[in-house]
Structure 1
Amino acid sequence: MVSSQSRSAPASIDETMELLAGADYVADRALATVLFLSLRMQRPLFLEGEAGVGKTELAKVLANSLNRRLIRLQCYEGLDVSTAVYEWNYAAQMIEIRMDEATGETDRASMERNVFSEKYLIRRPILDALTGEPGAAPVLLIDELDRTDEAFEAFLLEILSDWQVTVPELGTIKAAEPPLVIITTNRTREIHDALKRRCLYHWVDYPDAERELEIVRRKVPQANSRLSAEVVHYVQKLRQIDLFKSPGVAETIDWAGALTELDKVALDPETVSDTIGVLLKYQDDIARIGEGEGRRILDEVKAELAAAE
């Protein structure tokens, strides 16, 4: 039965943008277009970009907006089938075997059918995502795929092509309706072409100042308007410097929120110095900003905003 609360996918690019905007996700038209096509064509969406630019957040927003379950597979080195797809409840199987033996059941074929049944199958994220009902398929987020190895990538090919998983003891389990799949990577290594060919691709870049300011206004509405503008322009200029790790949109939001908690209405050198750890997460980057670069950037931001008024 289709969930009465699930929503159908948007019927146009404009509806897709409205769907995202309604959840305070400020997307450009290019991202809304590829998301719309991904939903319409039932193809996975492969999002690549720096950390903190909103790749994971898009999957969360999509699940919430369409009232679908969000199933998240957080990737890491060493991820295997038993963690990502399925495994058997060995403890419960052993108890079943002992009980059969105690009652005199010795037929091996019958015992095997009992213990290798759905009752003892533990569905991990990928297999769980293939069990959605038509019209209410879940959103499957495969997050930071670049942290896994090529062997796991190869395993995903059957799933992304045919929407099915083979469990040797049970046979092939095929989705009644494909899940809405979003795959993210921070590009710490290249993903194989065979997997990318099964997806629609989009590079999620840092937003321009106008869009980032709109994001901050939506996510930190209590922030002073002058402070929000200075924070965004300061971060924009930081990204033009050769840092080890440029701050993402998530850090911009955190910084605006932190400064608001401190009742700040504008940036000043002391405040930047005291709170820079909210924005930058590597000591070498913090040290560089502390060597006069931070004050220079702040002076430029103040001058440019004053000239624009």
Structure 2
Amino acid sequence: MPTPLPNSIDAVHDLLKNANYVADRSLATVLFLSLKMGRPLFLEGEAGVGKTEIAKVLAEQLNRPLIRLQCYEGLDVSSAVYEWNYARQMIEIRLAEATDTAEKDKLANDLFSEKFLIKRPLLNALENTGSGAPVLLIDELDRTDEPFEAYLLEVLSDFQVTIPEMGTIKADEAPIVIVTSNRTREIHDALKRRCLYHWVDYPDAEREKEILARKLPGADARLSEQIVAFVQKLRQDPGLFKLPGIAESLDWTNALTELNVMSLDPDVINDTLGVLLKYQDDIARVQGSEAASIIDQINSEMEQKGA
């Protein structure tokens, strides 16, 4: 059975925290309003800041199925919503050709019925499976093109899809919809108007330390503090092509823990920057004297704080 929806902002904050998702109050507020009002939530932000994770946490904590539509260039209705099982239809037609007229007339009525329909994520999300309305994650919408984005308007406003051969299929209970975008292109205003909106930003140092402590409780506390300080300083560098997100901070902490590293030093940083940064130009910019300068500054600040 699905878990009842949280009845306050604090309850949403606690729900996220129970799954080790450390959110600020503004995110908890807009998520509460989305659940309360039954409106899709459009989350925009840089890659790796935890947008997709919100949908996963909601599905887990509310005990509902998660249906994920991973967007990509060229995504169309047949991959996202439905398509007809043409191979099975052809077999049925061949079988009917060998039977009497009555069977042929029956087949004409049945050929575009539900038994020949292949349901894709969006159509599945409109069905109540007995476990409550699912959580529908439309992930990285900015990767699709504008025609598909326009198709989503009916889904997100009325929670229904229209199949020309069958008519309109409408959800008995609206799914919980999370739409994410990394903002590689602008999403049209018509779609944004159908959603509540929130920009998911990089966390501040205190929240990032709490995230590491919750996600990787076995990591050394001093190492985690150094990692957070290092990553926070990198995010202030306008010359980097791709700033490291929370996902990269977690990966780097996990990797250094696996290597039994207890404290950052320039050699360790140079050897493992490929876990944190994903572009060679960024790695080359940070390696060597820049990494040494940053870690010296961090150690000095930590010593002053300790004193």
Supply the distance in 1 between the matched residues of 2:101 and 2:136 (Cα, whole angstroms).
Answer: 42
TM-score, structure 1 as length reference:
0.96
The match for 1:42 among 23, 28, 38 is 38
What is residue 237 of structure 1 aligned with on the other side? Answer: 233
The match for 1:204 among 178, 200, 203 is 200
Summarize the alignment of residues 1-309 of structure 1 with structure 2, pairs less than 5 Å apart. 4=1, 6-105=2-101, 109-132=105-128, 136-242=132-238, 243-309=240-306
- The answer to whether the 8 Å contact 2:64/2:131 transfers is no
Alignment deviations for residues 230-285 of structure 1 (CA, whole Å, 9 cap, x no partner): 01110000001120000000000000000000011110111101100000000000
Supply the distance in 1 between the matched residues of 2:106 and 2:99 (Cα, whole angstroms).
Answer: 13
- The answer to whether the 8 Å contact 2:159/2:174 transfers is yes
Alignment coverage as a number of residue pairs: 305
TM-score, structure 2 as length reference:
0.97
Alignment deviations for residues 194-243 of structure 1 (CA, whole Å, 9 cap, x no partner): 00000000000000000000001111111001111101110000001120
**Structure 1 residues 109-118 or 152-161, which shifts more?**
109-118
RMSD (Å) for aligned C-alpha atoms: 1.2
Q: Which segments of 5 or more consecutive residues in structure 2 lack a partner in the other structure?
A: none
**Structure 1 residues 250-259 or 112-121, which shifts more?**
112-121
Instruction: Give 1:8's aligned amino acid.
Output: P
Shift of 1:112: 2.4
**Structure 1 residues 113-122 or 255-264, which shifts more?**
113-122
- Provide runs of 4+ in structure 1 moved above 6 Å: none
